[in-house]
Structure 1
Amino acid sequence: MNFYSDYFQHTPQDDFGYSPEWNQEINKWLEFVFYLNKDYYKKNKKRVLIDKQRNELLGELKTIYFFGKILRLNIEDLEPDGKDYTKLDLSIKDLKNNLWKVEVKAPSWKGQLWKDSNLSESQKRIRVSKPKYINGEAGSFSSEEEIKYTVEDSIKNALPKFTKGDNNLLVITPDMHHQIITMLAVSAMAGGSGAIQDEITTQDGTNIISTVLILEPILPALENEVRYSHKFIGVNNKPILPTIAEFI
């Protein structure tokens, strides 16, 4: 069964799907979720018909695949209850059998575009008027300004779903339009990961978030296998989810 074809039967308005390498990787995410929870797989098919929901779903799928297949952690639940009748994206058990509540954020490409200091205002207006995916165009999620905006926006949207006192993990994943080695950009920032920690502390004044994960699948040049670049950032001396390595 080709899971990608099963999900993406419609013709998108943009050039989403032009990369066979990424289509193959998305097929792996869908296959993993299919055998993990068939009800979840079937229920979320309709989300690919709307661009914004499609991008959010892809962020969730890659995160589920990363924890369950790459790190081989137990996926306890998909769409578990969050705070005040909200729904989180998933819950997992770490290597010490601790339960973590997980919310995934794949920030808006238009929001990131408006923060891009490399483009003029007129260039930004022209670009946002076009489809998100354009064949042959490479996006970037690499400037310090963009990263800070992304962290701030993700925290604001995730906080209302988390319950204080739980092990709360916020996953920030650049979407398929922005995938140019964010880890290098974070390392190059003034203060590196510490600058991200400071931003989290500023936005999360009540210390609800335990850990932030920046997750970025990348397809290195001249290679045909996706690598899952990731970085866990602890907050306020709280425990960090056990991991294997920075690159897998």
Structure 2
Amino acid sequence: MLFANRKDAGRKLAAALAGYREKSPVIVALPRGGVIVASEIASALDASLDLLFVQKIGVPFQPELAMGAIVDGAEPTIFRNESVIRQAGIREKEFSAICRLEQAEIDRRRQRYLGDRGNIPLSGRVVIVVDDGIATGSTVNAALKAIRRQEPRELVLAVPVAPAETLEQLDRDVDALICLETPPVFYAVGHFYNEFHQVSDAEVISVLEIANQEGPTENS
């Protein structure tokens, strides 16, 4: 195993990202697993921690196959994979119905995790997007494109593990890409952790509460 758990992965990523400490970055985590990794990075870099909610829009009869993604925001951003939509024979009415369901889940998570707290403005900031690993990269790709529209000064993707071919596709959407491990054989993110439990809502809320109590210094 490459990592003991998500905290271990976060500490190792934080060491690789140490040079960003002086840039006062915003660490943007993709819930839920990415929050555990990102909290370690935010603590080590004395940086602000925020969340970006992204939901895959799966084909109804094959939910793991993404026909798009929806990214939270003042105006939610919907990305469509037209080739998958055509091949699966998905009608527009059906696509829209699934989008509404995924948006409802985003709304639920945002309210539970953040309450009435707004997101940190990213324009002109150094933004480091963090997840606990990447497989196909479809949701991460959507997140990066949505953040880029906010015009950050620098956009960085940091993950513990991902397949090389996925990173090649994502590299064009960022200014820097930090990945600790690119195994030649890749089955699933969890295979590279000794402990990789399903992160609960309660765990995310607890991590955010601790991060808010610690917070960055005034210089951040």
Which interval holds the TM-score relative to the shorter structure? 0.3 to 0.5
Whose RCO is larger (CA < 8 A, sep 6+)? 2
So what's the TM-score if we normalise by structure 1? 0.29
